[in-house]
């Protein structure tokens, strides 16, 4: 039994309008400009990214990893922008799909909704390399998106509903064809996209796993910790940052360790924020001697020297980004860049904190700033 048939039996597929309803919950573009410029620009970007994936796969062939996953992600993002643009034009995504398949236009607003999976009855196949048909369809898709973008650039959006529907239906038709030729389903792409959105902009903020709950109290990060971080001038005239906890000085005296001072000497605040918000900080564990030594594998693999170096790398990278962005002045939850947060989490692959969602990483970064 193929994957499509199994999914149908388990009723796991999402409908077109069901996907659109969930997609627009994370739409932050509707009140900006005329409501169309940003999502149209985003759609152009996603199709460009799809073409870029094909180019990189052709150029680097064996050395380029993650091609299939990247195509699924980019198609999911393209579908998201398509759903958002349709919503801005007060069009259900089911109407776009119906028109794309050539059904009579008088049926386009009849409320009929279908499962995404039903649009592609064939089983999925592994995607090893881009085919000539896939490349041609992507170029046709880029052309259809380009025509919509040209209208937007000329001030031609919003169109009347029927006119907008024709443009979106053409885009959907090529997107569906591209998915067929790539051997993936739009259902896969939609599911991945919704998980990605929940990772960044969740409806419910669940703080998730307590990494310490199975360990003795003396190996757990403290639930409450008050640390004073301040500067002192030494006899040699240098200014150092020192830290105090419960009346005791802790850690080393810190300077910026760079030719041009930039306040990096205060960066331990990041480590304490990671401990408080993520429940993860090998640096804090080492400082307070809270390594989980009761389990050797965890002690070495999660709390050891390599993990400490990884966290220091994260702190350095985050500090560098913060320095370029006025230390995130005026930024709040939902404002930090998606790519930036993904890069941060990429640092900790293989460590327990990679399970922390992007929104939680954002909170830890902003609190530690």
- Measure the CA–CA gap between 331 and 242, rounded to whole angstroms: 28
**pLDDT tens digits, one per residue of 105-124:** 444 445 578 899 888 866 55
**pLDDT tens digits, one per residue of 138-158:** 999 999 999 999 988 887 777
- Helix and strand numbers, DSSP H then E, in the chain: 14, 3
- Measure the CA–CA gap between 275 and 364, rounded to whole angstroms: 9
**Is residue 207 in some structural domain?**
no
Q: Is the pLDDT of residue 348 over 60?
A: yes
Count structural domains, the chain. Answer: 2
pTM for the whole thing? 0.83
Are residues 302 and 244 part of one domain? yes
Torsion angle in degrees (nearest 10) through CA of 176, 178, 179, 183: 140
**Is residue 205 in some structural domain?**
no
Q: Is the pLDDT of residue 136 over 60?
A: yes
Are residues 180 and 123 part of one domain? yes
**Is residue 359 in some structural domain?**
yes
Are residues 186 and 241 part of one domain? no
Are residues 164 and 234 part of one domain? no
- Per the structure, the complete domain to which residue 292 belongs is given by 217-368
Residue pair 170/101 in contact by the 8 Å Cβ criterion: no
CATH number of the structural domain spanning residue 55: 1.10.4010
Are residues 231 and 183 part of one domain? no
Domain boundary residue among 200, 234, 266?
A: 200
Are residues 221 and 349 part of one domain? yes
Q: Which residues contact 203 (CB under 8 A, 6 or more apart)?
A: 25
**Is residue 211 in some structural domain?**
no
pLDDT averaged over the chain?
A: 86
The pLDDT value recorded for residue 239 is 86
**Is residue 212 in some structural domain?**
no
């Amino acid at each position: 039994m193929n994957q499509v048939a199994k999914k149908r039996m388990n009723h796991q597929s999402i409908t077109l309008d069901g996907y659109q309803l969930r997609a627009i919950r994370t739409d932050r573009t509707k009140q900006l400009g005329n409501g169309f410029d940003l999502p149209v620009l985003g759609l152009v970007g996603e199709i460009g990214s799809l073409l870029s994936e094909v180019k990189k796969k052709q150029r680097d062939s064996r050395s380029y990893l993650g091609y299939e996953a990247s195509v699924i992600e980019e198609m999911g993002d393209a579908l998201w922008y398509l759903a958002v643009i349709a919503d801005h034009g007060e069009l259900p995504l089911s109407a776009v799909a119906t028109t794309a398949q050539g059904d009579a236009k008088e049926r386009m607003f009849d409320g009929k909704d279908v499962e995404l999976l039903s649009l592609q009855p064939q089983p999925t196949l592994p995607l090893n390399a881009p085919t000539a048909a896939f490349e041609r369809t992507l170029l046709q898709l880029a052309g259809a998106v380009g025509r919509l973008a040209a209208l937007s650039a000329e001030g031609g959006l919003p169109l009347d509903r029927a006119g907008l529907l024709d443009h979106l239906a053409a885009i959907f038709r090529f997107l569906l064809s591209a998915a067929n030729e790539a051997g993936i389903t739009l259902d896969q792409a939609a599911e991945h996209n919704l998980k990605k959105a929940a990772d960044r902009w969740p409806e419910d903020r669940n703080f998730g796993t307590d990494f310490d709950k199975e360990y003795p109290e003396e190996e757990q990060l403290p639930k409450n910790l008050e640390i004073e971080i301040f500067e002192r001038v030494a006899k040699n005239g240098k200014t150092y940052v020192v830290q105090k906890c419960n009346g005791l000085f802790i850690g080393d005296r810190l300077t910026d360790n760079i030719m041009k001072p930039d306040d990096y000497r205060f960066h331990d605040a990041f480590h304490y924020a990671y401990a408080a918000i993520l429940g993860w900080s090998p640096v804090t564990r080492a400082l307070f001697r809270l390594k989980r030594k009761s389990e050797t594998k965890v002690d070495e693999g999660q709390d050891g020297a390599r993990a400490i170096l990884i966290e220091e790398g994260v702190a350095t990278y985050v500090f560098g980004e913060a320095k370029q962005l006025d230390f995130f002045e005026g930024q709040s939850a939902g404002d930090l860049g998606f790519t930036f947060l993904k890069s941060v989490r990429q640092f900790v692959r293989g460590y327990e904190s990679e399970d922390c969602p992007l929104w939680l990483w954002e909170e830890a970064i902003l609190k530690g700033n």
